[in-house]
Amino acid sequence: MISPKVSVIIPTYNRREYVQETIDSVLAQTYTDYEIIVIDDGSTDGTGEALQSRYGDRIHYEWQENQGESVARNRGIELARGEYIAFLDSDDLWLPEKLEKQIAFLQKATDVGMVCCAIWLVDEKDQKFRADSVESCSENNDISLEMLLSRNHVSGPSTVVLHGAIVQRVGGFDPQIRFGEDWDFWIRVAGNSRIVALPEPLALIRRHSGTQCYYPSLQKNGQRLADHLRILEKAFKTYPCMITPEQQRYIKGTYYLQAFVADMAVDAPDTAFEHLRVAYTLDSSLLTDEVVFTPLIVNQSVMFAENILPQGLTHGIEYGKRVLAQLHKVGVRSSRFERKVMAHINATLGFIAYEHLGPQVARPFFLHALWLDFTWWHNRGLLSILTQSFIGEKLKDEISQWVFSRRGNNV
């Protein structure tokens, strides 16, 4: 039997409906030299019967006792016959040209061991609500080991294709890590080969009530922090010369901040404050860091807004205020930082309000962002929507056409 070029590994657990859409997105690929390996991690919702009935021998299906995603992916790796390995979570989707573009890139760039891509975030109904680029790539789109030692710059397993030989060299996923097992794996890959990110969104990452990293709880927050610190300690021990002690403290502090904002979101201010205090002790500059801290606060505010509209918009604003108030308890007061954070929250929620509820609902958020931070006056999209909210789309178009015609007459 001729081996396929690519082995697509899909771990799943009680996602009977989602996983069928996921498999369909593989079957719709323009690149067709692949095998599909589905490892069912103990589903009890009839997933196996549904998949075997619908797909038959078009997939390799295997059921195992529930042991977690890492064990399921590792079993898929054991069964894989392809030269390349592609991972796909059972609630995510691929755009039709994903494999074709990534395999072509790997075959051309022979020094690259792994390639990932940008993503679209989609909701439970597959509606796109945000495009996420690959974070902070270098000019040549490399994701270096140094970058990965600071944080996970890969947007999830569903974006990745890599050489099977690399997987055999670095080993599989660590079953002891529940949150960030993929990050730990990418670090080991980066220590053995070059990783490159394609800037084009080629995967759809679904956010829904079963997404463990998107809907926090106090227990999950604690487990996530413990796992992330474990990953960092492993990495710092493996690559001791690449990160200075000061950098290690800064990086660890960012994950305590992440736990802080997550704990505040589940109304656990005492636990949150302890994590904030540790972050402050590790590196006090983090608490006014616009590059690291601001996105954590804004992203959590966005989650409130996207979960329950329109009430979530108000919740998002109030959440930002509560978080900033906690900073005062450790003696950090920066009106500039606080105004910028709240302006960013207002502007971001304004765009969400505009998309789902219209320009009039977005207006007060945009006005507040402009009042708090003058730099938002340079955002043409914000100003255009704000103008529309006052004069209406039809009149806005008529004014634009009149201005254009006047310019033409003056040429």
The pLDDT of residue 15 is 95
Domain with CATH 3.90.550.10 in the chain: 6-206
The pLDDT of residue 241 is 87
Residue 42 has pLDDT above 90, yes or no: yes
Do residues 43 and 67 touch, judged by C-beta distance below 8 A?
no
The pLDDT of residue 370 is 96
pLDDT level of residue 310 (50, 70, 90 thresholds): confident
Average pLDDT for 101-111: 96
Average pLDDT for 87-93: 96
Residue 82 has pLDDT above 90, yes or no: yes
Higher-pLDDT residue of 221 and 131 is: 221
The pLDDT of residue 215 is 54
Instruction: State the chain's mean pLDDT as an integer.
Output: 91
The pLDDT of residue 202 is 96
Average pLDDT for 285-312: 90
For the ranges 9-18, 100-109, 238-247, 282-291, the lowest mean pLDDT is seen at 238-247
The pLDDT of residue 411 is 39
- Going by C-alpha positions, the residue among 33, 177, 189, 6 that lies closest to residue 88 is 6
Residue 7 has pLDDT above 70, yes or no: yes
Residue 404 has pLDDT above 90, yes or no: no
According to CATH, the superfamily of the domain at 6-206 is: Spore Coat Polysaccharide Biosynthesis Protein SpsA; Chain A (3.90.550.10)
Q: Give 212-220's long-range contacts (Cβ < 8 A, gap of 24+).
A: 212/179, 213/179, 214/303, 216/262, 216/265, 216/266, 217/266, 218/263, 218/266, 218/268, 218/271, 220/179
% of the chain with per-residue pLDDT over 70: 89
% of the chain with per-residue pLDDT over 90: 80
Residue 277 has pLDDT above 80, yes or no: yes
Residue 401 has pLDDT above 90, yes or no: no
Average pLDDT for 262-286: 96
The pLDDT of residue 134 is 58
Look up the pTM and report it.
0.86
pLDDT level of residue 305 (50, 70, 90 thresholds): confident
- Going by C-alpha positions, the residue among 104, 75, 96, 101 that lies closest to residue 87 is 75
Average pLDDT for 143-154: 92
The pLDDT of residue 356 is 87
pLDDT level of residue 121 (50, 70, 90 thresholds): confident
* Residue 220 CB neighbour total at 10 angstroms: 16
pLDDT level of residue 391 (50, 70, 90 thresholds): confident
Higher-pLDDT residue of 399 and 128 is: 128
Residue 264 has pLDDT above 50, yes or no: yes
Do residues 169 and 122 touch, judged by C-beta distance below 8 A?
no
The pLDDT of residue 313 is 93
**Which amino acid is present at 66?**
N
Residue 214 has pLDDT above 60, yes or no: no
Residue 131 has pLDDT above 50, yes or no: yes
Do residues 263 and 272 touch, judged by C-beta distance below 8 A?
yes
The pLDDT of residue 122 is 82
Residue 21 to residues 14, 25, 27, 126, 159: CA-CA distances in angstroms?
Answer: 14, 6, 10, 10, 16
